């Protein structure tokens, strides 16, 4: 029943799940509003998932469509797998935000508008031919026009700041309204404001007044006929925090350093949507982390490889165009057999493409985007929180097998967030790195019989002086060799070393039925949409399973066997069918592709629709 | 520690440069100098890119990393930052350092990281068999420039000074005493170090430097910039020195001791203008080409700044506690 309510009796409407989208100018503070609502919602005990959507331009002209920034959040009393398809509630701060987002609002959905931003010039900037409030185009929705600008100015009047500053508080007025609507506590945001504006008491006062005024406005008026109550989620007990994919990668890298006993050397060059990892890692110097902002993508991976040569955990993070630049150095890492972590936070391409939008079209680049036979382990994270564990796993494989390893994330995981049960350090994998310390009989390219990894001999140890390099190596000695048979032997050894990792990774699991009519095979950030769609199909009694492949090279040993247990295979991907191509090539199975390249993740409905087309409805769940 | 000799730095690999290549002399001088430094052998790392010069690490019995074209300064930056105790040397050529890898070279220099870049300048691409390089002179005919090069060359000294390298010097493959002296000074310097070494490619660009470095003309055509010494040159019969008239260098002939108005060389000035002027000395009619130490300035190194921040972070936030880090931010407990 939510918070204590002693005033106006109001109907409470129980919902199992709510999707809300905040949309405004990129200067309107929508990302901040969204993240505040996210944390308060998590603190209220709901499961949730978020998706920010912002333009590539930092500040496109105010009030225009290219300048619209959005933040979507879904929360529920049940497990949440996606940030929701179509919002139930839309907060639109101006006509441009309305125009860009109204197409997604569910029929009957709640639309909160800033009534003060519909002057003729605002409509012109947004390209509206008529006023949508009056032309009947909003008749399918419950429209709540609010004079956000006037009311905010009135609320902060006593603070004595200018109108421009006062107007910047109107997102907090809107937030206060939404807090009221969902019976959220405002405590977290009040504390956050106090901390954020500790040195600027006027701004603290103004924003807090706007927040409280938004709440009070709903309380005092008959604006809303009902409030919404969403039950708390039943989640595993423990300590939780909200985490984005990029933050999880940063923590994963630092955790990998602790668990391997190595110094983290993180080198990168700013690139959307990966830069946050650099920002986060750079804050953690008390962990002995060296963060190096290189002059370019090549220098970043090169410095990371140099650091690995010296005995650090070399890591770099980038996006598709950056990984293309790193390709030659990644090939060198394969040749000199040193650990190297490369994270690719994929974005829309080719070329500069859609830098702030998501895509999964770098899979083949990750696998094959280097000269010659350059086998490289490739892993993919499924959810924002999963980025943590997969980063650790990437580092584990790199260190154990002395190889570069690629971890694929994407813009959707990078900026999306979800609650994460904070792990105990002692439960994390431990993979202490071992340097060569035996001088007698040392050979730079002698291998571990089981893993085929060569020893890691770091400079500074007397008696282990040796040379590595990009020229082909003679087996065991590592001396330069042009011998034909040796070259073939080394090509096959490098291939075999990576193939053997299949013995050291989990078997492929299946969610849903273990065999039957349809197996949906996904990888990466499609996890949420596929999981939700497959569970819905199961509820309809359809014989559907879901295999989410987290190891793209090598594949889990049983993947072929899993595929063979189903009549049909559906592969949803945010590319034109790259995993499907690999499955057909490797296992000779027919596949159906569901592809989407719009810079946006799949909706649950898109995956569900295809599942329904390919399956028959059963009689029991 | 037992005393090291040149032989300790020779690897068991057969040296495979063309007979007569200037690289042999440089390798020999380098091995001699390293043995003299009193640094344990295992502390040396020689990093190279691609090109004839870049085969160098294979012939050095130290830690060595033969990398990819142009990237040696970037890889060496990682090597040094991950372990600042190492003595890190980059061996490169004019194509590797100034063309494909120019950006990495300049950024390593401006950071003042203590890596020592030796750039062998033969004014040609040798390993790819004779194309124009970024130091080939205008109108130079090569395989890739049959009508003569249309590209103006880089001035390596000016480039390194412009990037604010704190040690900038030049020497010659065949003037062994001078080269070893410069390498000693380079080894003693803490900070970004750039040494251009005139090197003869007898196959694709023979005698590129002889008009300055040949024994017969050397005394009159080269001037050695020696810290603290007057800037003088010339054969015994015709001693000359250089003084300044405003921004113009002026030649002064003298006998006996150099006159007092001859410039006394000071490469330690934070303002590199004078060094820059000397980098362009050959632009002035009848002036010699300077070799020696153009710049030698003490400054905080990059690695000291980087590790200094780690110390400050530990002092202010305490040593990194992984469990506390994972639990940081806004958290809530589900019962």
CATH number, residue B131: 3.40.50.970
Asked if A151 contacts A166 with a C-beta cutoff of 8 angstroms, the reply is no
- Cβ-defined contact of B64 to A466 (cutoff 8 Å): yes
B21 phi and psi angles, rounded to 5 deg: -70, 140
The alpha carbon of residue B116 is apart from the nearest alpha carbon of chain A, in Å, by 15
- Count: domains in chain B: 1
H-run or E-run covering A345? strand A340-346
- Sort out which chain B residues have CB atoms less than 8 A from A306's CB and list them: 47, 65, 74-82
- Sort out which chain B residues have CB atoms less than 8 A from A251's CB and list them: 325-326
- Cβ-defined contact of B58 to A469 (cutoff 8 Å): yes
- Sort out which chain A residues have CB atoms less than 8 A from B74's CB and list them: 294-295, 298-299, 302-303, 306
- Cβ-defined contact of B316 to A286 (cutoff 8 Å): yes
- Sort out which chain A residues have CB atoms less than 8 A from B41's CB and list them: 462, 465
Closest chain B residue to A36 measured between Cα atoms? B330
Whole-number Å distance between alpha carbons of B43 and B86: 5
From start to end of chain B, where are the E strands? 44-48, 63-66, 87-93, 115-121, 167-172, 193-198, 222-225, 232-233, 239-245, 248-254, 289-296, 331-334
Q: What residues contact residue A111 under an 8 Å CB cut-off, 6+ apart?
A: A89, A90, A92, A98, A102, A105, A138, A141, A142, A143, A144
- Cβ-defined contact of B103 to A295 (cutoff 8 Å): yes
Closest chain B residue to A470 measured between Cα atoms? B67
* The predicted structure's pLDDT at residue A617: 81
The alpha carbon of residue B319 is apart from the nearest alpha carbon of chain A, in Å, by 5
β A511-512/A290-293 pair status: unpaired
- Sort out which chain B residues have CB atoms less than 8 A from A241's CB and list them: 327-332
Q: Evaluate whether residue B130 is within a structural domain.
A: yes
The alpha carbon of residue A299 is apart from the nearest alpha carbon of chain B, in Å, by 5
The alpha carbon of residue A414 is apart from the nearest alpha carbon of chain B, in Å, by 18
Q: What residues contact residue A612 under an 8 Å CB cut-off, 6+ apart?
A: A537, A542
* The predicted structure's pLDDT at residue A9: 57
Whole-number Å distance between alpha carbons of B201 and A550: 53
Q: Evaluate whether residue B265 is within a structural domain.
A: no
- Other C-beta atoms closer than 10 Å to the C-beta of A1 total 8
The alpha carbon of residue B58 is apart from the nearest alpha carbon of chain A, in Å, by 6
Closest chain B residue to A40 measured between Cα atoms? B330
What's the CATH fold of domain A241-427?
Answer: Rossmann fold (3.40.50)
Q: What residues contact residue A358 under an 8 Å CB cut-off, 6+ apart?
A: A346, A347, A348, A410, A411, A412, A413, A525, A574, A599, A600, A601
Beta bridge partners of B241: B232, B252
Asked if A2 contacts A46 with a C-beta cutoff of 8 angstroms, the reply is no
| Helix, strand, or coil (residue A396) | helix
**B41, B67, B332 member nearest A465 (Cβ):** B41
* The predicted structure's pLDDT at residue A10: 67
Whole-number Å distance between alpha carbons of B275 and B155: 13
pLDDT digits (tens, 9 = 90+) for B145-193: 999 999 999 999 999 999 999 999 999 999 999 999 999 999 999 999 9
Domain that holds residue B89: 6-208
- Other C-beta atoms closer than 10 Å to the C-beta of B258 total 20
Long-range contacts of A492-496, Cβ-Cβ distance < 8 Å, separation of 24 or more: A493/A447, A493/A452, A494/A334, A494/A337, A494/A373, A494/A375, A495/A373, A495/A375, A496/A452
* The predicted structure's pLDDT at residue B2: 62
- Cβ-defined contact of B67 to A459 (cutoff 8 Å): no
- Cβ-defined contact of B77 to A306 (cutoff 8 Å): yes
| The token pair that represents A108 in the structure block | 């009957």
Write a three-state SS string for chain B: CCCCCHHHHECCCCCCCCCCCCHHHHHHHHHHHHHHCCCCHHHEEEEECCCCHHHHHHHECCEEEECCCCCHHHHHHHHHHHCCCCEEEEEEEHHHHHHHCHHHHHHHHHHCCCEEEEEEECCCECCCCCECCCCCCCCCCECCECCCCCCCCCCHHHHHHHCCCCEEEEEECCCHHHHHHHHHHHHHCCCCEEEEEECCECCCECCCCHHHHCHHHHHHHEEEECCCCECEECCCCCEEEEEEECCEEEEEEECCCCCCCCCECCCCCCCCHHHHHHHCHHHCCCCCEEEEEEEECCCCCHHHHHHHHHHHHHHHHCCCCHHHHHCCCCEEEEC
* Average pLDDT along chain B: 96
- Other C-beta atoms closer than 10 Å to the C-beta of A127 total 11
Closest chain B residue to A248 measured between Cα atoms? B326
Angle at Cα B52 formed by Cα B47 and Cα B58, nearest 5°?
Answer: 45
| Helix, strand, or coil (residue A449) | coil
Domain A11-229: assigned CATH number: 3.40.920.10
Residue bearing tokens 């199961």: A538
- Sort out which chain A residues have CB atoms less than 8 A from B63's CB and list them: 459, 465-467
* The predicted structure's pLDDT at residue A287: 98
Q: Evaluate whether residue B281 is within a structural domain.
A: no
Q: Evaluate whether residue B263 is within a structural domain.
A: no
- Other C-beta atoms closer than 10 Å to the C-beta of A104 total 18
Number of residues that make up chain B: 335
What's the CATH fold of domain A511-614?
Answer: Rossmann fold (3.40.50)
Beta bridge partners of B195: B118, B169
Q: What is the DSSP letter of B201?
A: B
- Sort out which chain B residues have CB atoms less than 8 A from A468's CB and list them: 64-66
Whole-number Å distance between alpha carbons of A518 and A533: 13
H-run or E-run covering A592? strand A592-595
| Helix, strand, or coil (residue A485) | helix
Q: Do domains A11-229 and A241-427 have the same CATH topology?
A: no
Q: For chain A, which residues make up each domain, given as ranges?
A: 11-229, 241-427, 511-614
Q: What is the DSSP letter of A253?
A: H
- Cβ-defined contact of B331 to A422 (cutoff 8 Å): yes
Beta bridge partners of A421: A240
A–B interface: beta-carbon pairs under 8 A: 212
- Sort out which chain B residues have CB atoms less than 8 A from A478's CB and list them: none
Among B65, B73, B321, the residue to mutate for chain A (most A Cβ within 10 A): B65
* The predicted structure's pLDDT at residue A620: 47
C-alpha dist (Å) from residue B246 to A375, B158, B250, B285: 63, 20, 10, 17
- Sort out which chain B residues have CB atoms less than 8 A from A460's CB and list them: 42-43, 83, 85-86
The residue among A256, A524, A301 whose CA lies nearest residue A400 is A256
The alpha carbon of residue B45 is apart from the nearest alpha carbon of chain A, in Å, by 7
B314 phi and psi angles, rounded to 5 deg: -70, -35
pLDDT at B203 over 60: yes
| The token pair that represents A303 in the structure block | 């410095």
- Cβ-defined contact of A328 to B79 (cutoff 8 Å): no
| The token pair that represents A458 in the structure block | 């770091």
Q: In what order do the strands lie in the sheet with A417-421?
A: A417-421, A238-244, B331-334
The alpha carbon of residue B146 is apart from the nearest alpha carbon of chain A, in Å, by 31
pLDDT under 50: residue ranges of chain A = 1-6, 620-621
- Cβ-defined contact of A425 to B43 (cutoff 8 Å): no
- Cβ-defined contact of B58 to A294 (cutoff 8 Å): no
Among A188, A459, A468, the residue to mutate for chain B (most B Cβ within 10 A): A459
- Cβ-defined contact of A242 to B317 (cutoff 8 Å): no
The alpha carbon of residue B87 is apart from the nearest alpha carbon of chain A, in Å, by 10
Among A302, A311, A332, A470, the residue to mutate for chain B (most B Cβ within 10 A): A302
- Cβ-defined contact of A306 to B78 (cutoff 8 Å): yes
Beta bridge partners of B116: B89, B193
């Amino acid at each position: 029943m939510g918070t204590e309510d002693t005033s106006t009796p109001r109907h409470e409407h129980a919902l199992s799940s709510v999707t809300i989208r905040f949309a405004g100018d990129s200067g309107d503070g929508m990302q901040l509003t969204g993240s505040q609502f996210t944390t308060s919602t998590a603190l209220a005990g709901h499961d949730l998932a978020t998706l920010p959507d912002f333009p590539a331009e930092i500040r496109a002209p105010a009030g225009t469509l290219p300048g619209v920034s959005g933040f979507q959040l879904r929360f529920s009393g049940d497990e949440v797998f996606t940030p929701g398809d179509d919002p139930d509630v839309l907060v639109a701060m101006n006509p441009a935000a309305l125009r860009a987002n109204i197409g997604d609002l569910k029929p009957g959905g709640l639309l909160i508008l800033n009534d003060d931003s519909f002057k003729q010039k605002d409509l012109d900037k947004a390209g509206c031919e008529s006023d949508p409030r009056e032309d009947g185009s909003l008749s399918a929705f419950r429209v709540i026009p609010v004079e956000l600008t006037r009311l905010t100015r009135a609320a902060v009047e006593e603070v004595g700041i200018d109108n421009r500053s006062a107007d910047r508080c109107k997102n907090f007025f809107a937030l206060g309204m939404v807090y009221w609507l969902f019976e959220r506590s405002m405590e977290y945001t009040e504390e956050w404001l106090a901390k954020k504006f500790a040195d600027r008491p006027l701004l603290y006062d103004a924003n807090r007044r706007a927040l409280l005024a938004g709440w009070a406005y709903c309380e005092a008026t008959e604006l809303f006929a009902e409030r919404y109550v969403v039950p708390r989620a039943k989640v595993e007990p423990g300590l939780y925090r909200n985490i984005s994919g990029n933050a999880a990668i940063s923590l994963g890298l630092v955790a990998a350093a602790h668990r391997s006993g190595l110094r983290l050397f993180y080198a990168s060059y700013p690139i959307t949507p990966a830069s946050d990892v650099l920002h986060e890692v750079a804050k953690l110097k008390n962990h002995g982390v060296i963060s190096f902002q290189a002059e370019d993508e090549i220098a970043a991976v090169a410095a990371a490889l140099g650091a690995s040569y010296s005995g650090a955990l070399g890591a770099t993070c980038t996006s598709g165009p950056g990984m293309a630049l790193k390709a030659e150095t990644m090939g060198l890492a394969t040749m000199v057999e040193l650990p190297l972590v490369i994270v690719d936070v994929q974005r829309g391409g080719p070329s500069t493409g859609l830098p702030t939008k998501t895509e999964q079209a770098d899979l083949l680049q990750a696998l094959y985007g280097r000269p010659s036979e350059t086998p490289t382990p490739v892993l993919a994270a499924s959810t924002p929180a999963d980025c943590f564990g997969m980063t650790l796993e990437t580092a584990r494989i790199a260190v154990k097998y002395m190889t570069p390893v690629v971890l694929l994330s994407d813009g959707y995981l990078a900026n999306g967030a979800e609650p994460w049960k904070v792990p105990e350090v002692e439960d994390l994998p431990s993979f202490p790195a071992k340097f060569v310390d035996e001088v007698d009989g040392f050979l730079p390219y002698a291998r571990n019989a089981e893993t085929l990894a060569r020893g890691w001999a770091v400079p500074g140890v007397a008696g282990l002086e040796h040379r590595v390099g990009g020229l082909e190596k003679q087996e065991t000695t590592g001396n330069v060799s042009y011998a034909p048979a040796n070259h073939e032997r080394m090509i096959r050894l490098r291939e075999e070393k990576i193939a053997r990792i299949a013995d050291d990774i989990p078997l492929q699991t299946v969610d849903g039925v273990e065999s039957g009519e349809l197996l949906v095979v996904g990888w990466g950030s499609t996890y949420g949409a596929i999981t939700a769609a497959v569970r819905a199909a199961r509820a309809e009694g359809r014989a559907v399973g879901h295999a989410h492949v987290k190891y793209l090279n090598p594949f889990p040993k049983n993947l072929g066997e899993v595929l063979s247990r189903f009549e049909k295979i559906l592969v949803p991907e945010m590319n034109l069918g790259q995993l499907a191509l690999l499955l057909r090539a490797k296992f000779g199975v027919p596949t159906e592709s569901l592809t989407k390249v719009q810079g946006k993740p799949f909706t649950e409905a898109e995956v569900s629709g295809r599942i329904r087309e390919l399956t028959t409805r059963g009689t029991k769940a | 520690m037992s005393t090291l000799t040149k032989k300790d730095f020779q690897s068991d690999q057969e040296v495979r440069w063309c007979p007569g290549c200037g690289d042999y002399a440089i390798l020999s001088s380098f091995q001699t100098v390293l043995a003299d430094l009193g640094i344990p052998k295992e502390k040396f790392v020689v990093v190279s890119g691609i090109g004839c010069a870049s085969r160098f690490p294979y012939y050095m019995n130290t830690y060595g990393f033969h990398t990819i074209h142009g990237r040696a300064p970037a890889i060496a930056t990682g090597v040094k930052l991950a372990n600042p105790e190492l003595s890190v040397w980059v061996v490169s050529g004019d194509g590797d350092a100034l063309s494909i890898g120019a950006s990495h070279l300049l950024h390593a220099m401006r950071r003042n990281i203590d890596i020592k870049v030796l750039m062998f300048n033969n004014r040609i691409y040798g390993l790819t068999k004779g194309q124009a390089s970024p130091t080939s002179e205008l109108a130079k005919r090569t395989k890739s420039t049959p009508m003569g090069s249309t590209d103006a060359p880089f001035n390596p000294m000016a480039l390194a000074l412009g990037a604010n390298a704190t040690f900038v010097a030049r020497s010659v493959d065949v003037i062994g005493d001078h080269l070893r002296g410069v390498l000693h000074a380079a080894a003693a310097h803490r900070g970004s170090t750039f040494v251009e070494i005139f090197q003869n490619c007898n196959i694709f660009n023979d005698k590129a430097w002889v008009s300055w470095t040949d024994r017969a003309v050397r005394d009159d055509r080269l001037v050695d910039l020696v810290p603290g010494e007057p800037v003088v040159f010339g054969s015994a019969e015709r001693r000359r020195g250089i003084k300044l008239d405003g921004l113009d260098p002026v030649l002064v002939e003298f006998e006996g001791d150099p006159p007092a108005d001859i410039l006394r060389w000071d490469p330690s000035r934070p303002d590199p203008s004078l060094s820059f002027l000397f980098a362009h000395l050959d632009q002035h009619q009848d002036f010699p080409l300077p070799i020696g130490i153009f710049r030698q300035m003490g400054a905080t190194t990059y690695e000291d700044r980087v590790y200094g921040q780690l110390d400050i972070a530990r002092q202010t936030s305490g040593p990194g506690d992984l469990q506390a880090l994972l639990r940081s931010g806004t958290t809530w407990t589900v019962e």
